[in-house]
Structure 1
Amino acid sequence: MTTDLYIHKSDQVYDAIVVGSGISGGWAAKEFCERGMQTLMIERGRVVEHRKDYVTEGKGPWEFANRTKVDNLLVEEKHSVQKKCYAFSDMTKHFFGNDKDLPYTTKEGTGFDWIRANQLGGKSLLWHRQSYRLSDFDFSANKADGHGNDWPIRYKDIESWYSHVEKFAGISGSQENLEQLPNSEFLPPFEMTAPELHVKDKIAEHFPGRQLIMGRTAHLTEPTQLHIEQGRVTCQARNECQKGCSFGAYFSTQSSTLPAAAKTGNLSIAPNSVVHSLIYDEKTQRVKGVRVVDNDNLSTREYFAKVVFLCASTLGSAQIMLNTKTKTFPNGIANSSGVLGHYLMDHNYNAGATGTVEGFDDVYYSGRRPSGILVPNFQYKPSLYKKGYVRGYGLAGGSHRDSWQGLGYQNGIGADFKTHLTKPGKWKLGLHAQGEMLPRFDNYMALHPTKTDKWGIPLIHIDCTWSENEKLMMADAEQTAFDMLTKAGLKDIQSYNSIEKNNPGLAIHEVGTARMGHDPKESVLNGFNQCHDVANLFVTDGSSFCSTAVQNPSLTFMALTARAVDYCVSEMKARRI
């Protein structure tokens, strides 16, 4: 990456503007640039250079003043929400948003924990890298049971695009031939531990129709020549990914799509540029560009392009659209349906169980595997739904042996206790639910009527709650996880259900707000992520989802984005855009 990529002011009319540089934005920029399109990527945050700006990479916990803990008043002020994320620590906090500077509001009596990473690369530097295809059951679920609108696409429409992005990104996993979880283009999977293999066999024995498989993750277990050409090499199994990875062993914008886009010579980047709204031409009924506010000095400027791709996140893209008020669209651009901002969803990670696996004292594991195990959704169609609620959940987890980090909290003192800490403890294994959240109009984000942020943009106001369906699902998931571990022979099993304590948002899988659909009267986008109302405006992040499914959504963000760019370029060449 060279400094001549970065611009400030520009009078150029680009072929495409891409707003956002996370997983979706990186893919949009790569695909446009490789098709010869002059592309401007706009990022609201600072530049993060691959390798150079991974400032804590390789540092051990003992090299931090408080051993990576960040429990102090300064953190409470700046990171009151961000600190709830599993990946937040003194080693990673520089990649998280500043809650003090990025306020939002929620309806009284509700909450939503919005995890943000406003920098070049976005949350692609922080994601947990679990990568799964959606199946036809997921794309047809809304139509099958009547909850939500029908997805305007099916698995066959996106299958080849999954393959396209998987080969480039690098996805490790195992061929399982499950109808509810299609295979990917796989690199070799990580290995299961001996207790996991034991539990896998017990689940197969006692629960026909349920399979325990190795997690599928965007890590290079065995790089191809394509990955090596990207400058990426084999995963070192350090599981310190959120510090940044100079090996490029996990997929991120910095390690993969951004270098590919830059290599073409067609990419420009405007960092520290907060998009305020879109510029709409009433005569042509097209967007002409974007208005931005400088992140540092609050000056304003404009950029222009033939097409605009919003990849600013599920909440960020909807905020930009709602804040673009015109004569034609007084309630937000492309919002003739009135559903923009509605149907906000997140995954339901709120129940599970953990127990002790007896035996296996003579086996251990090597390295720190950056993935876990998964029991794919076994309630993936109406005939398999449990009584009392609809849809289903998967169970993700893993095993480990107690170490000094946990044993150190036990009672003890003296030399014998210290010696005890040097020896591995018992094997523990957990299964934790990841369930669907139903699409509901009443779960929404809007613009606050009076409050603005420091850039003069109305704050996002969120009203999003768990429905009775999600609560019943987690009650069942808790019992199911307990039963499965019991049948597998685990002891001292502890189960939990935390849905009453946790807000939506912490799964960091928020989707909806500008959903796809067949009917422009009840959706914002068509099946190619193109706005029904504005032909040269596309939204390819999680905003476009009609349902959450059970699987982690990032791989589908990638595939939908690449597909949308291909369609957009074809339409541009045919002069329909």
Structure 2
Amino acid sequence: MSKPSGEYDAIVVGTGITGGWAAKELCEKGLKTLVLERGKMVKHIEDYPTANLDDWDLPYGNQMDRKRQRQYHKQLRVGWAPRPDVAHFFVNDLEHPYQETKRFDWIRGYQVGGRSLTWGRQSYRWSDVDFEANKKDGIAVDWPVRYKDIAPWYDKVESYIGVSGEALGLPHLPDGKFQPPMGLNCPEEDLKKAVSGSFSDGRVLTVGRAAHITDPNAVPEGRNPCQFRDRCWRGCPFGGYFSSNSSTLPAAERTGNMTLMPLAIVHEVIVDEATGRATGVKVIDTETHEQLTFNAKVIFLCASAMATVGILMKSRSSRFPDGIGNNHDQLGRNIMDHHYQLGARASVEGHLDKYYKGRRPNGFYIPRFVNLGRDSEKKDYLRGFGYQGSASRGDWTESVAEMGYGAGLKDSIMKPGKWTIGATGFGEMLPYHDNRVRLSETEKDQWGLPQLDFDVEFKENEYRMREDILRQIVAMFEAAGFKDIETYERETGPGLGIHEMGGARMGHDPKTSVVNRHNQVHDVPNIYVTDGAFMTSASCVNPSLTYMAFTARAAHHAAEQFKAGAFS
């Protein structure tokens, strides 16, 4: 990495899932690229301090004390993050506040690699069921692309990152370039048989499609196959799962074209009023508070959806008094997430002579089966949902509850308990025009920048869908013969799915969207938005694979435009 200077061919803002891909693609195409990250440096392998620790190696058995709970008071709403072993990869909420006109659970990671270090790694393609949904339902705006436009880029991304999975032949969940699938255990196999054999609407169960290398003969440079340790959030020193740190950023660095600068907050994109082109970005050094400016002919905003929207809103000028791309009041609107935190759990009889080996960093997946036409039932809501879950054998807590002692206790705690199984539903949220984020008019952060203020909520369509999510999982568990079935539904709100998207949506018309089919801002075509901000609808599958495919596609387009002199 060379020392930062003022002039570059391209600037990439953010180093997460999309920033890493933008950096790799632009650098490999010969563009001298400055990659800016607001958080600290995290070097692959050496900056994963808890990667090889067990819970008993950590204070309080890996439980947070009250002081640290206050520091992460908003992010702890998610229920499973951040724990002490991974807290260093999540932001301190007291140091990085935001406003909530309506509750919004913004889960963030400010470091090189972003949330690619802590993502769930579930990787699913969209289909034309998703890309055509808005047009078919007559809501929001139509996507200006279709599956055929993105399919080659899905191929490219999957082949590079390594996605393990099973081909299903489902038109609404296209198959990809898969490495060998991980295995299901015996209760999951029972549920698989019940799901496909007891219903007439095309339901199937498969192992999750996960960005983990399972083929030792198809390992990208600098990485190794998954070791089945299931400590992924702590940072994988083997590079078994895909992250920017283990994969795309090293690839960009190997070209000699990347300059990486952490601790640099991009707060404004500079636009030349005469040419209508972006010329660079304004940056605050988080340690010194020094104001810096860097120039480039191409700008990629990959800061994460809400942060990117904030940057565009703060980029004000006489031409864009309300922020770049906001002349028609579209910026910051149509915010979406996936709604979840509901499902069911049950006990499984039998299979007491069976166990499994290793810690599979994955679970099963039941793809969407409603509102698909053909034999699927038409519901009183739009779109659909899928389920993620797993089965396991209990631990020694039953033995502790029995207050055993002596040889009997020692013997009992070495035996696994009964099988249990659980599944969580993930539902699509519609793009509502009044679900929005603004800049606070009164509250600023420690660098003097306006805080984001969220005004986002679930509406009737989501709540109707949630009722069906519970009904359907109970029906499937009953069909499998599971016992003691209990449903659960926790208090939730937008953001907790950690799939926040929208705010600078893609569309045909500059009056109703912010970016075009190539992810270029309509009004300033040398600015590309390729994180979740560009999403026009949400589907019900995890979105990161789609972000990466669009980023690779946009970087290819940007490099061609750059070389043709379109941004000069």
TM bin, normalised by shorter chain, reads over 0.9
Matched, 1:221 2:214: yes
What code does the residue aligned with 1:258 have? L
Within a 5 Å distance, the mapping from 1:136-535 to structure 2 comes to 136-208=128-200, 209-225=202-218, 227-228=219-220, 230-381=221-372, 384=376, 386-404=378-396, 406-407=397-398, 410-415=401-406, 416-498=408-490, 501-535=491-525
> 1:496 offset after TM fit, Å?
1.8
CA shift digits 1:285-328 (9 cap, x unpaired): 01111101111121111111001000001100000000011111
Partner letter of residue 131 of structure 2?
A: F
Q: CA deviation at 1:385?
A: 5.6
Structure 2 equivalent of residue 104 of structure 1? 98
Residue type matched to 1:506 in 2? L
Rounded to whole Å, the distance in 1 between the matches of 2:371 and 2:34 is: 40
Aligned-pair distance for 1:195? 1.3
Q: Is 2:548 the counterpart of 1:555? A: no
1:573 to 555, 559, 563: 563
Of stretches 333-342 and 165-174 in structure 1, the one that deviates more from structure 2 is: 333-342
Determine the structure 2 residue equivalent to 1:95: 89
3-state SS in 1 of match to 2:347: strand
1:385/1:391 contact within 8 Å kept: no
Partner of 1:536: helix, strand, or coil?
A: strand
Q: Deviations over 1:383-432 (max 9, x none)?
A: 6464321111001111101112x536735243344533321111111121
Q: Post-superposition shift, 1:84?
A: 3.4
Is 2:371–2:379's contact at 8 Å kept on the other side of the alignment?
no
**1:144-180 deviation line (CA, Å, top 9, x unaligned):** 1122211111000000000001111000001111111
Q: Would you say the 8 A contact 2:370–2:379 is kept in 1? A: no
Distance 2:60 2:34 in 1: 41
Q: How many residues are paired up?
A: 563
In 2, distance between residues paired with 1:42 and 1:59?
31
- Larger mean Cα displacement after TM superposition, 522-531 or 201-210: 201-210
Q: CA separation in 1, counterparts of 2:398 and 2:310? A: 47
Q: Which stretch of structure 1 is more off in the superposition, 204-213 or 17-26?
A: 204-213
- 3-state SS of 1:66 partner: helix
User: Is this contact kept in 2: 1:313–1:542, CA < 8 A?
Assistant: yes
- Aligned-residue offset at 1:439: 0.4
Q: Quick one: which amino acid aligns to residue 403 of structure 2?
A: G
Structure 1 residue identity aligned to 2:105: D
User: Which of 524, 542, 545 is 2:535 aligned to?
Assistant: 545
Q: Which residue identity does 1:64 align to in structure 2? A: L
State whether residues 385 and 392 of structure 1, in contact with CA within 8 Å, keep that contact through their aligned partners in structure 2: no
1:170–1:223 CA contact under 8 A, matched in 2: no
**2:515 is aligned with what amino acid?**
L
Q: In 1, Cα distance between the equivalents of 2:416 and 2:66?
A: 36
Q: Is the 8 A contact 2:334 2:503 kept in 1?
A: yes
Q: Is residue 61 from structure 1 mapped to residue 55 from structure 2 by the alignment?
A: yes
Amino acid at match of 2:338: H
CA contact (8 A) 1:57 1:244 kept: yes
Q: Distance in 2 between matches of 1:380 and 1:28?
A: 35
Q: Which amino acid aligns with 1:426?
A: K
Q: Secondary structure of the residue that 1:14 maps to in structure 2?
A: strand
The CA distance in 1 between the partners of 2:194 and 2:226, in whole Å, is 30
Amino acid paired to 1:300: Q
Residue 119 (1) aligns with residue 124 (2) = no
Deviation at 1:52, TM superposition (A): 0.5
Q: Is the 8 A contact 1:138 1:380 kept in 2?
A: no
Which moved further from structure 2: 421-430 or 298-307? 421-430
1:49 equivalenced with 2:43 (yes/no): yes
1:99 partner amino acid? D
TM-score (norm 1): 0.95
Deviation digits for residues 343-386 of structure 1 (CA, Å, limit 9, x no counterpart): 00000113211111111111101111001101100125366464
1:535 is displaced (CA, Å) by: 1.1
Distance 2:399 2:434 in 1: 47
Distance 1:408 1:503 in 2: 37
**Equivalent position of 1:75 in the other structure:** 68
Given the superposition, is the C-alpha separation of residues 59 and 180 from structure 1 closer, same or farther in structure 2, using an over 3 Å criterion? same
Matched-pair contact (CA < 8 Å) for 1:382–1:390? no
Instruction: Pick the aligned partner of 1:14 from 8, 14, 24.
Output: 8
CA distance in 2, matches of 1:261, 1:132: 25
Aligned to 1:29: 23
Partner Cα separation in structure 2 for residue 548 and residue 187 of structure 1: 26
Give, as a single letter, the amino acid of the residue that structure 2 aligns with 1:80. H
**C-alpha contact (below 8 Å) 2:267/2:281 kept by paired residues:** yes
Counterparts of 2:55 and 2:410, CA distance in 1? 19
Unpaired stretches in structure 1, ≥5 consecutive residues: none
Distance 2:77 2:178 in 1: 32
Task: Report SS of the residue matched to 2:84.
Answer: coil
The 3-state SS of whatever aligns with 2:132 is helix
**What is the alpha-carbon distance in structure 2 between the residues aligned to residue 301 and residue 390 of structure 1?**
47
Distance 1:434 1:408, change over 3 A: farther
C-alpha contact 1:310 1:538 (8 A) present in aligned 2: yes
CA contact (8 A) 1:438 1:548 kept: yes
Deviation at 1:442, TM superposition (A): 1.1
